[in-house]
Structure 1
Amino acid sequence: MADMVGVAAALCSVSSFAPQIYKIWKERDASSVSLKTYALTVSCFILWVCYGLLTEAWPVTLANGCALVMASGVLIMKWRFERKG
């Protein structure tokens, strides 16, 4: 049961970035995205991946690695599509 909850949590964490990625990509506009928030989010996922590697906790590493990719995608698009007023 605990594994099922963990998998569900990981899927929710990773997929939670998809709507934001889709919206930015479709509109080519990331002005409503907070740079500080996503920079902090990416930093947190990097630390969780490091923790998972150091403790050999592969579920933590894998779930946070996937979330890191998604959050990094938002951050990269923030820099790429930022509209300078």
Structure 2
Amino acid sequence: MDLTIIGYLAGIFTTFASLPQLIKSIKERDLSSFSLAFVLIFTTGLFLWLIYGILRNDYPIIIFNVLSLMFWVPITYLKIKEVVRNWKKR
């Protein structure tokens, strides 16, 4: 079996696993289930995986981390915005 297939399958599962939760959170406009620390650390990890994939010229890593970042960068922005808004209310 070609190991690249395993990479693509792993990328599909891990990238799209969080999609239902992200859609639910956006629809409900409620990101309280995500901690700011988690969102920042996770998004940073995705970015570092992308850099790693680019440096290794590993297409499954590159493709699925770009897709994941497309989901998580907006969530990171919205979560920071929510935290700042809540902080200003105090």
Give the TM-score of the pair, scaled to structure 2.
0.77
Q: Which runs of 5+ in 2 are unaligned?
A: none
Give how far 1:81 is off: 4.4
CA deviation vs aligned residue, 1:11-52 (integer Å, no higher than 9, x gap): 111112211221111111112211101111111111111111
Report the RMSD for the aligned CA atoms in angstroms.
Answer: 1.9
Query: Computing the radius of gyration over CA atoms, which structure comes out larger, 1 or 2?
Result: 2
Runs of 4+ residues over 3 Å off in structure 1: 80-83
- Could you say which residue in structure 1 is the equivalent of 2:71? 70
Q: Which has the higher contact order (CA 8 A, sep 6+)?
A: 1
Identity %: 28
Residue 80 to residue 19, structure 1, CA distance change in 2 (3 Å): farther
Q: Number of matched residues? A: 85
Give the TM-score of the pair, scaled to structure 1.
0.81
Higher helix share: 2
